[in-house]
Each structure stands twice: as structure tokens, then as C-alpha cells.
Amino acid sequence: MDIIRLAKQEEKRLIQYRRYLHENPELSGQEFNTLRFIKKELSMMNIPFVEVEEGGILGFIDSKKTGKTVMLRADIDALPIDEDPLNTKGLPKPCVSKIKGVQHACGHDAHTAILLTAAKILSENKESFVGKVVLCFERGEEANGNIFYLLKYFEENNMFFDSCFGLHVGSFVKESTGSLVVKDGSFMTGMTAFKVTLKGQGGHGSRPDIANNPIDCFSSINESLAKLRMKKINPFSLVTYSIGYVAAGTKSNVIPDHLTFAGTIRYFDLKNVGRLFLSEMQKVIDHTAKVYDCKVDYDEIFIPGYPLINNKTCADIARGAFVELFGEVKDSEPLLGTESFSFYLQKTPGVFAVLCTDNEDKGIKADHHTAQFDVDEEVLYKGVCAHVGYAIAFLNGDDKIDFKPNSMSVDQIKEECGII
């Protein structure tokens, strides 16, 4: 089976998919037209599917020969960003969002287009593999939570996979355009998100003595949290902490009665680093609030996500498939971004890879989650090859995988992760 030839034959379809999805993005939890589009295309390919309410779509490609099952996943939601029609060189992009304030600024349009195209190739070449391919189109990846509807569906329907594969496009790995990247072990961090409100006493700016400004309290908290990493965390353990949102007040001469701040913690060790930092952070907030006579509401505490840990054997299978296809595969330092794919890896051995789609010569260099973000469409076919190549290599191989799944139920995992 000439995977590259088949992918290149479908390249026009692939780019059409990507451009349609890019021009018609939908936010997390609102992907209704995107779902209709995916279901229409799967129906045209004669691929049976089910829609998991709030979770996404699962498609099924069965070779009719008994064997293993591999799950291939793509996320489908967009971000609340108003897209810049020009790239980093000031050149017009090949397609731009038609929806004001909504943009596929993380490449999920490309992920969905790649998986749909891979699905067509696999469904038309069932004789090339033994076993079953499950296509997973996941809703709400950016909102951190819709994946649990899928995981619950798997649990309730006794669906188990022998392996899973996912791929992210973009610019966060600094390799040449079109490079495929695979790393063993810890590849992406876990994340704890927090949103906290401090309640003081509002007043007029001329009499701060009879008000209680929560901004003062926050200022002290912010200074203490910035030092927390050095005071409480082993210096050989990675952790990053940042506040990305602060809101208080509306006028310069009015002292607000409350302040809200939000941010994230990133780590590779959930138990000994992530939870420790979180515990110490809460102590700092609670103690400082008491000193400043403010009340604390933990609005969105907390979502401790798991680090993304690639199974070594699955990573080896992916590397072997990619080298056979393209002659090489790149390694990478660990990435500090976070991926919901890590939750699949709690139950199933698998691998998450990266396709480098930035291109400085073309002005495609913007970071993810920015208005200028774009992908080089000329290398997207390699993502199709990666999905097809991994699926066939895994299903037709006899590799023994060392893996111990997380024994907790999905509800227990949700409780551990603070998701209600």
C-alpha cells in the first residue's frame, strides 16, 4: 500500500476540508455545524458512526478480519479570537474565518481534515490491515471537559482500544516544515487551571481608609506566589505558574469591592509537584486574604490534568512507520502545553506526535492561540500519512506493549480532576 501516493491523491480534498472548517469555526460546546459536516462526510464514505452527546463523533472502520483495535483522534473546536487576515509577513492567508471573533487558532481544523482524509483512505483499503480503526472526533478540547463524555461512553459500552494515536500541527516544535516529531515518555505537561475571586469593601477613591481594596490583597498574593516555586518545589522538578487574567473595578476613583484573577500551573509530576504547588498556593491565598480581611471564592478550582506520557513501544511503532514513509523522524524536548489526549493515555497505550506546519519563508510563524496563526497546507498530507501509517503498522504488527491502565472509573478520574 503506497500511503504517500494515496494521501497525495486526496490532497485537494484534504485542503478543501481544512479551508471549509477554517472559514466556519465553532467554539467549544457549539460545534453543531462541524458535527453535521463530519457526519455528512462519513456517510458519503459509508463509514458507520455514532454521535456521543456532548462528546463528539465515533466512526468505525472494520477490516472484517479479527484483530486489534486502534483509535485515531482529532479535536474539532475553535477559539474566541478575532482572526487577522494577514500572516506574520503581512501576506494574505489562503482562508480566513467568516465568523467574527472565532478562529481555528490552534489547528483543530487541520486535525479534523487530516482524520477525515485518513478515514477515506483506510475505508477504501481495508484489505491492507487486520482489525478495526475507531475514528474519534472530540468536542470541546479547548474547554477541558467534553472528553469525559467520550470516556464515559467507552466505559458504559465496554469499548477498549489496544492503542490510540493523535497528532498536533503547529509551530511549538522548532523543526523544519513538514517534520514529524515523536518523543518517548513525558511529552506534554499536566495543567491545573484556577480562577479566584477576592472580596473586599468598595468605596470612593478619596477615602481608602474606610474601604478595603481587594487590589491590595491581590498585589501581596501575586508577589508571594511568584516566589513559591523556589521555596516549595524541588529545583530538579519542572513547574511553571502564571496569571493570565485579572479583573477589578471600572473607574479610577472607585475602589472595587471584588477582584478576580485566573491562571494555570504546568507540571510533569501531578502528585509531587502539581498538587503540592496547588496546596501551597491555596495556603498563600487563604492566609493573605485573612491578613487583608478579604473573603475568598475559588470559582474554578481546579482542573488538575494529567501529563501526556507516550508509551515507549507505541512511540517506537510510530517512529518506524514515519521513517519508512519519509526517511526520518525528529525528537523533541518536552512541551509545556497541555492536551486532553493525556486522558486517553490513562486508559490506553498510545502516542501523540507533532507535525511541524510553520514556514518562515511564507510568513507562517505565529504562535498558537494568536490572531495570525496559520498552517502550511502543503505539508498537511504528511499528517494523513502519519495516521494511516501508524494504524496499519500497529494493527499488522505483533508488538508486546508494557502498559498498566489507570484503575479508576471515569467518575473517579473526574473527581480527582475537580470536574463536576
- Amino acid symbol at 319: R
Cell of 304: 488538575
Instruction: Identify the three-state secondary structure at position 318.
Output: helix
CB-based contacts of 306: which residues, under 8 Å, 6+ apart?
190, 270, 342, 343, 345, 346
Cβ neighbours of residue 180 closer than 8 Å, sequence gap 6 or more: 322, 326, 329, 330, 353, 354, 355, 356, 382, 386
As a whole number of angstroms, the distance between CA 277 and CA 232 comes to 7
The Cα 372–Cα 97 span in angstroms is 12
Q: State the pLDDT at residue 53.
A: 96
- Select from 221, 223, 296 the least CA-distant residue to 258: 296
Catalytic position from the list 83, 138, 339, 377:
377
Find out if CATH 3.40.630.10 is the number for domain 3-187+307-416.
Answer: yes
Check if 390 is active-site: no
Task: Write the DSSP symbol of residue 177.
Answer: T
Listed in sequence order, the residues at least 6 apart from 394 whose beta carbon sits closer than 8 Å to its beta carbon are 68, 70, 162, 163, 165, 314, 317
Residues forming beta bridges with residue 203, ordered by sequence position: 255
- The three grid cell numbers given for residue 287, joined into one nine-digit string: 492566609
Which grid cell sits at 114?
487530516
Catalytic option among 241, 306, 344, 381? 306
The residues pairing with 243 across neighbouring beta strands, listed in sequence order, are 263
Q: Helices then strands (H, E): number in the chain? A: 11, 15
CATH of 190-298 given 3.30.70.360, 3.30.70.270, 2.40.110.10, 3.30.450.40: 3.30.70.360
pLDDT at 64: 84
From first to last of its 420 residues, what are the pLDDT tens digits of the chain? 999 999 999 999 999 999 999 999 999 999 999 999 999 999 999 999 999 999 999 999 999 889 999 999 999 999 999 999 999 999 999 999 999 999 999 999 999 999 999 999 999 999 999 999 999 999 999 986 799 999 999 999 999 999 999 999 998 888 899 999 999 999 999 998 899 999 999 999 999 999 999 999 999 999 999 999 889 999 999 999 999 999 999 999 999 999 999 999 999 998 889 889 989 999 999 999 999 999 999 987 666 679 999 999 999 999 999 999 999 999 999 999 899 999 999 999 999 999 999 999 999 999 999 999 999 999 999 999 999 999 999 999 999 999 999 999 999 988 877 665
Are the C-beta atoms of 123 and 26 separated by less than 8 Å? no
Residue with cell 487583608: 292
DSSP state, residue 333: P
- Nearest CA to 261 out of 293, 218, 225, 231 is that of 218
Boundaries of every domain in the chain: 3-187+307-416, 190-298
377 belongs to the catalytic site: yes
Give yes or no for a cis peptide into 160 (omega within 30° of 0): no
C-alpha cell at 192: 491545573
Neighbours of 296 (CB within 10 A): 17
Report how far apart, in Å, the C-alpha atoms of 102 and of each of 78, 83, 98, 366, 370 are: 7, 7, 8, 17, 11
DSSP state, 247?
A: E
| pLDDT the model gives residue 300 | 72
Q: Pull the grid cell for residue 154.
A: 467507552
